[in-house]
Chain A
């Protein structure tokens, strides 16, 4: 019978021990790179070349962090990644808000006001989730030039909105499919129209999916590198591009502690979001993946 899991027998106890052993080993595999990154970022350079990866910092220092933030060289300039960190926010926040708003309206129209061809419209848009972005890079570069926003934050925001609405529409559509249509029928009979039903009935119950969509878009756009490197100039680069430049700038001594501090800085916002709202993060990942 199924009492293998019971703890009484020695065999079962061994089984449980092994189970926890494997799980903890796996946890170490995932957590150690972060630990090493964090420890390295507060070690002086001398300790790094002398000590080993896992040795605790003897004289912890925040100098690598301040250097990464304000002084380190990213290519030609030596101003740290601080400015790029704010650049990322300046790009991410409008792009997230706009794409989420459009996605919510699209999802609402696609589920609660179906019309002939609405499924086709959805399929048409959904395809945008799947294309490799390499296939749009060159035309996009030229289009941004025509619009006069190449290498600007506005250009990057546009790019992220354009390729983000496929995902946000998918999120909201899948969420609104689960909201009973009778709710909308009742509101129609109560005298509400298209926008009032959205505003008064759908939006108040959409909090979970708004969080999912915002978090998903935030991590996607924050972590983007391809669009950032292709469509930005030195003063509009997002932090991921700056980090890559910093690590690959080959002037003087390699300061691994500064590299790690800069990587931590670039990673922190999404890590914070993950820790605070992990549940919604997972939901976004799975909703974005499991069918339409």
Chain B
């Protein structure tokens, strides 16, 4: 029966048809999201964009100990270009960056593929591979400095096993010290690449692999021709992050080599810090910071461009 429905006669409904008042907070509600975001936007505008501009302005001045606004055009940039130590730092970054990215990708993808073969204790292995990423680069630097110490570290240990002629003293060799940075950085970050790849592998539709198997492809072939192409986005973002870590590398150098021997392992990040904060060359330091920003943008912009494009089409 229609009138058997008791809820029809509850007149005290707070939300019923009678409550058709206009919402007093209607206007405020519409503005709340913007209001909530406003502080963050302001912070971002000031502390990120404003500071970038500020640093750029400083890089056009002759500032030394303290910021001064005595403009010298692009003088600091030409000083930078003529600075041998800057060129060492930039060359080091190229060597370090390329080796770091390539080796991390190689080790990371290999470990991920091997771990993907239904391995017992996979969880434990994964934990071991990845834990260095939780450490500070300072800790990593301190540990590897100790391991690479020729008198007490790996060299001494191998020599004590009877290989008297064994030499592993890169850290004190100006030509080789940059490679010790690569070793320590790879140790810290390759497990992370493994985790990225493993997540990517697990995300691949199993039926694609099954179909390739039915087509008679061998396991290595399946990985090379079928799986890897699916992981292209993973490779892409891994390269992005690794390159980014490389350009920002500062702590590791400070802790592992201190930029030495001499300034053989200087990177732009340590160069900038040294000039801006300890050598009273604020103008020069700012110019080097701007060039670092340029380096990051050179990697970032193509990445973002392809991301946006793929999202529009995807």
Contact = CB atoms under 8 A, between A and B. Distances in A.
- Given a CB threshold of 8 Å, the question of whether A touches B is answered with yes
Interface of A: 1-2, 4-5, 19-20, 22-23, 26-27, 29-31, 33-34, 36-37, 40, 48-49, 52-54, 102, 105-106, 109-110, 113, 115, 118, 121, 124-125, 127-128, 130-140, 142-143, 162-163, 165-166, 169, 191, 193-195, 219, 222-226, 229-230, 240, 243-244, 247-248, 256, 259-260, 262-263, 266-267, 270-271, 273-275, 278, 281-282, 285-286, 289-292
A285 B133 contact: yes
B276 A225 contact: no
Given A37-B143, A165-B43, A132 B51 contact: no
A169 B196 contact: no
A199 B288 CA distance: 46
In this complex, the member of A132, A136, A282 whose beta carbon has the largest number of chain B beta carbons within 10 angstroms is A132
Interface of B: 15, 25, 29, 32-34, 36-37, 39-41, 43-45, 47-48, 50-52, 54-55, 58, 67, 107, 111, 114-115, 117-119, 125, 127-139, 142-147, 152-154, 156-157, 160, 187, 191-192, 195-196, 199, 213, 216, 218-219, 233-234, 237-238, 240-241, 244, 247-248, 250-251, 254-255, 258, 268-269, 272-273, 276-277, 282, 285-286, 288-290, 292-293, 295-296, 300, 307
B251 A34 contact: no
Contact of B152 (A53, A131, A286): A53
A135 B41 contact: no
A29 B187 contact: yes
Contact of B125 (A5, A27, A40, A165): A27
In this complex, the member of A49, A109, A134, A267 whose beta carbon has the largest number of chain B beta carbons within 10 angstroms is A134
B213 A139 contact: no
A165 B41 CA distance: 10
Closest 5 CB pairs of A and B: A223-B136, A113-B33, A274-B134, A225-B251, A109-B33
Contacts of B156: 52-53
A138 B55 contact: yes
Contact of B36 (A37, A109, A243): A109
A244 B40 contact: no
Contact of A132 (B127, B187, B233, B292): B292
Contact of B143 (A33, A131, A271, A273): A33
Given A23-B111, A40-B146, A121-B41, A225 B137 contact: yes
Contact of B147 (A53, A106, A291): A53
Given A136-B55, A285-B192, A267 B34 contact: no
A169 to B, nearest CB: 7
B51 A33 contact: no
Q: Is the interface of A mostly helix, strand, loop or mixed?
A: helix
Nearest to A274: B134
A225 B36 contact: no
A289 B146 contact: no
Contacts of A163: 47
Contacts of B67: 138, 142
B135 A271 contact: yes
A134 B289 contact: yes
A263 B134 CA distance: 13
A126 B75 CA distance: 32
B160 A52 contact: yes
B139 A266 contact: yes
A214 to B, nearest CB: 14
Given A5-B117, A31-B128, 10 more contacts: A118-B33, A132-B292, A135-B55, A136-B52, A222-B136, A225-B136, A226-B250, A256-B152, A267-B136, A289-B238
Contacts of B250: 134, 225-226
B138 A243 contact: yes
Nearest to A242: B138
A125 B43 CA distance: 9
Nearest to A129: B244
Contact of A244 (B29, B119, B138): B138
A286 B234 CA distance: 10
Contacts of A30: 128-129, 131-132, 187, 191
